[in-house]
Structure 1
Amino acid sequence: MTAKSQRESEQEVRSWGFPHVFTWTDGPNAHYSPHSHAGLTTHLILKGQLTITYPKEKDAEKKTYTVGDRIDVEAGRVHEVWMGAEGCTYVIGE
């Protein structure tokens, strides 16, 4: 099976109903401190890996996602994110 191109992946995220779609790359071991967004966001991983946790939730655990995985974060849900040792490229839908 051939990997989807960036354009195909962006089209896929648009098909899920997200009007604002773009591809983003973070460098190795990048970190986003706890934050939230005003609306639902989705992340479709194209390269590398991403680890996420929801620090304000009881029994919060870190979960790692890799190529092809989709992560949805609900509006207002506080989350913290770390990129893997090779960084991470992903399509974001907002």
Structure 2
Amino acid sequence: MSQIYPIGTRSESERLVRDWGFRHVFTWSDGRQSSNAYYSPHSHAGLTTHLIRRGSLTITYPDDNASLHNGAVQKETFGVGSRVDVPAGKLHEVWIGDEGCEYVIGE
């Protein structure tokens, strides 16, 4: 089970992510109008982290599904206070929960 972090104000959450060593930090919101939003498989050049402040997101790693899970799709859902790290270059896809999701991104 991953560690759950206390969620304070937006600036406190952004400061926490900076304290983890991320230099480019910002808050992103997929609001209620974006509930059930879907981000197709993509990757990032560097390590990214996501600290969830509100709502939830579900993530899967397509390459892992093919090589580690015999093609079975393994998804994991994270809620408020969760930290989700995605390694550089790792292909992933994301679904936003019914209530939307607000998260601090560190790059």
Would the alpha carbon gap of residues 83 and 46 (structure 1) be closer, same or farther in structure 2, given more than 3 Å must change? same
Please tell me the residue identity of whatever aligns with 1:28: S
Residues 1-94 of structure 1 aligned to structure 2 (within 5 Å): 3-26=7-30, 27-57=34-64, 58-59=68-69, 60-94=73-107
What TM-score does the superposition give when structure 1 sets the normalisation length?
0.95
Q: Supply the distance in 2 between the matched residues of 1:91 and 1:3 (Cα, whole angstroms).
A: 11
Q: Which runs of 5+ in 1 are unaligned?
A: none
Alpha-carbon offset, residue 3 of structure 1: 4.0
- Alignment length, in residue pairs? 93
Partner secondary structure for residue 43 of structure 1: strand
Partner secondary structure for residue 8 of structure 1: helix
1:50-74 deviations in Å (ceiling 9; x for gaps): 0000011121510000000000000
Q: Supply the distance in 2 between the matched residues of 1:48 and 1:91 (Cα, whole angstroms).
A: 12
What TM-score does the superposition give when structure 2 sets the normalisation length?
0.84
Partner secondary structure for residue 63 of structure 2: coil
Looking at secondary structure, tell me which structure has more helix per residue: 2
Looking at secondary structure, tell me which structure has more strand per residue: 1
Q: Supply the distance in 1 between the matched residues of 2:77 and 2:62 (Cα, whole angstroms).
A: 15
Q: Supply the distance in 1 between the matched residues of 2:91 and 2:7 (Cα, whole angstroms).
A: 31
Q: Is the 8 A contact 2:49 2:83 kept in 1?
A: yes
Partner secondary structure for residue 100 of structure 2: strand
